[in-house]
Structure 1
Amino acid sequence: MHQPRTFVETDLAALDALVGRDNFITLVTVSDGHAEANHLPVLYHRDGDRVQLQGHVSRANPVRRTAGRCLAIVHGPNAYVSPGWYPDKEEEARVPTWNYAVAHLEGVLEFFTDEGALAGIVDRLSLQHEAAVGSDWRFEMDREDHRNQLRGIVGFRVEVARITMKFKLNQNHPQANRVAVSDQLAISARESSRDTAELMRARLAAPIAGD
């Protein structure tokens, strides 16, 4: 990922927030010389600098044969930025751009089929997302029909070895431009644009580094 130092983010609290906002990642692996991408919800755990992801895939998914090095992409909010929003648009001949936040987590992918571990992942994922939609489905380990469903999935974990985060939020622009863009994005009908505005406003007081 191209990463001008202006847009480098190193605070792992920012990663916590990205995954908390959207834990549906893109998992990239390589098999027989071909890149494969799978899109999966994950459980995220961080203890200091140590980060681990967990989830499950269908037993029929070929990715389960690609244990080893992988890349997990955490997608943050993103938004189109019109040059018409910049106060200095004419004198600086501003052009359109795209603001966004993203994290790349490189690590080692492992798979497992332990029934108890699989049940725990299904239960924790469902608890998290059922609550978010106002429902109350639960995985019940004492129900044979629920346990039987575990035979169709394989669990995975990723021990993250390297974290790269890019928060491109107009940090290379004068403060007035950053304020103007965040104000426009904050009133957008698009949720991702409003979320981008929040990230921008959280960083407006930060010093502007060189590109």
Structure 2
Amino acid sequence: MYIPKYSQVEDLKLIKSFVEDHSFGTLINSSSDGVTANHYPFLVDQEGETLVFWTHLALGNPQWKQLSQSLKATVVFTGPHAYISPVYYKDPLNVPTWNYTAVHASCDCEIIKDATTVQGLMNRLVNHYEAKNGTNWNYDLPQDFHEGLLKAIVWIKLRATSVDAKFKLSQNRDKDDYWSVIEEFSKRTSENDRELLKYMKLTTPEKFK
């Protein structure tokens, strides 16, 4: 991913938090069949200075077989984004642009076969998203039905070998323009725009404070 220095994020804690908030990602790999991209919910952990992602695929999905052969993949997570009009700037002699947030992780892959690990991951995934959804379904299923479901999926562990995080949020503008964009988004009420404002404030360059 092309990342000018001004939009590069290296704070691993912030990156992990971003992924947790935008955990429905895109898993991309290359094989003899070409380039494959699919979309899955992910869990994320941190091991030292390394991020680890977990997801599961349907047994009938050929992507897991491709991953078991190449053992390499890229995971992409995207967050809030918005069109930026020149009218937000102090100087009208400008052109439109787009503010956005994204994380790309290059990963080594591992197919998880241990039944206990798979069960633990499934419990964790359900509990995580049920809590976020506010529904708290208790995952109480008949054992044979549950075992059949687990046999129909494949869990993948993806250990990041590199992580690129790009928060392009008007940091390349001058101070007046930067704060003018923040002022504009402070007036907005949509979830996307409020979250974009949050990331602008979290990554405000020191020169603008």
> TM over 0.5, yes or no?
yes
- Cα pair 1:178 1:200 within 8 Å, conserved: no
> What residue identity is the alignment partner of 1:102?
A
1:184 corresponds to 2:184: yes
> What residue identity is the alignment partner of 2:2?
H
Quick one: which of 72, 85, 89 aligns to 1:86? 89
- Cα pair 1:27 1:40 within 8 Å, conserved: yes
Cα distance per residue 1:105-145 (max 9 Å; x no partner): 00112212332222212111111111122212233587221
Q: Secondary structure at the match of 2:207?
A: coil
**Structure 1 position 191, deviation (Å):** 1.8
Q: Secondary structure at the match of 1:87?
A: coil
Q: Give runs of aligned pairs for residues 43-54 of structure 1, distance below 5 A.
A: 43-54=43-54
**Structure 1 position 146, deviation (Å):** 1.4
Partners of 1:202 and 1:88 in 2: CA distance: 25
Question: What is the aligned partner in structure 2 of residue 32 from structure 1?
Answer: 32
Question: What is the aligned partner in structure 1 of residue 5 from structure 2?
Answer: 5
Question: What is the aligned partner in structure 1 of residue 107 from structure 2?
Answer: 107
Question: What is the aligned partner in structure 2 of residue 170 from structure 1?
Answer: 170
Cα distance per residue 1:145-202 (max 9 Å; x no partner): 1122101100100011011111111111111211111222233343222211111122
Question: What is the aligned partner in structure 2 of residue 76 from structure 1?
Answer: 79
Deviates more, 1:150-159 or 1:199-208: 199-208
% identical aligned pairs: 27
Deviates more, 1:181-190 or 1:63-72: 181-190
Partners of 2:118 and 2:65 in 1: CA distance: 18
Q: Secondary structure at the match of 1:136?
A: coil
- Cα pair 1:78 1:99 within 8 Å, conserved: yes
- Cα pair 1:119 1:139 within 8 Å, conserved: no
Q: Secondary structure at the match of 2:156?
A: strand
Q: CA RMSD in A?
A: 1.7
> Structure 1: which 5+ runs fail to align?
none
TM-score between both structures, scaled by the size of structure 2: 0.91
Partners of 1:108 and 1:58 in 2: CA distance: 20
**Structure 1 position 204, deviation (Å):** 2.7
**Corresponding residue pairs, total:** 205
Partners of 1:207 and 1:158 in 2: CA distance: 37
- Cα pair 2:99 2:169 within 8 Å, conserved: yes
Partners of 2:99 and 2:52 in 1: CA distance: 27
> Structure 2: which 5+ runs fail to align?
none
Question: What is the aligned partner in structure 2 of residue 120 from structure 1?
Answer: 120
Partners of 1:155 and 1:202 in 2: CA distance: 34
**Structure 1 position 205, deviation (Å):** 4.9
TM-score between both structures, scaled by the size of structure 1: 0.90
Partners of 2:137 and 2:74 in 1: CA distance: 31
Q: Evaluate the alpha carbon distance shift between residue 59 and residue 33 of structure 1 in structure 2; reply closer, same or farther with a 3 A threshold.
A: closer
Question: What is the aligned partner in structure 1 of residue 161 from structure 2?
Answer: 161
Cα distance per residue 1:38-91 (max 9 Å; x no partner): 1111110013312111111100001111221110112121111111011122xx
